[in-house]
Amino acid sequence: MVSQSPRCAIYCLIISVFGTIFLSVLAIVLVSGYEYIKVDNQSRGGEACFWSAVIYMGISILCFIYLKRRRRRAPGHPTFSSYEAE
């Protein structure tokens, strides 16, 4: 059974945005050499966090596009052809 609700896409969008922010901050902290975070190779860990943040950003962009397209296709949403010339 396919759900017609956008709740899953909204949830995924919210989690992806927060994941992008968190991983970006963590990558910046690791690359800057913050001494209180104990990681074997901080620059490599920062790079991995950065690429993970990029993947999360891509997921959030895809969810956003899905929600915009879904809203545009919703019944009752005005389109250019629905406006009549006066």
Residues shown for the chain: 86
Whole-number pLDDT of residue 59: 96
Buried b (16+ CB within 10 A) or exposed e, 3-27: eeeeeebeebbeebbebbeebbebb
Whole-number pLDDT of residue 48: 93
Whole-number pLDDT of residue 39: 80
Instruction: Locate 59 and state its tokens.
Output: 């997921």
- Tell me the domain boundaries of the chain: 8-72
Instruction: Locate 56 and state its tokens.
Output: 């999360």
Instruction: Locate 22 and state its tokens.
Output: 């968190």
**DSSP code of 80?**
G
Check: CB of residue 44 under 8 Å from CB of residue 27.
no
Whole-number pLDDT of residue 82: 52
Whole-number pLDDT of residue 40: 83
pLDDT < 70 stretches in the chain: 1-4, 76-86
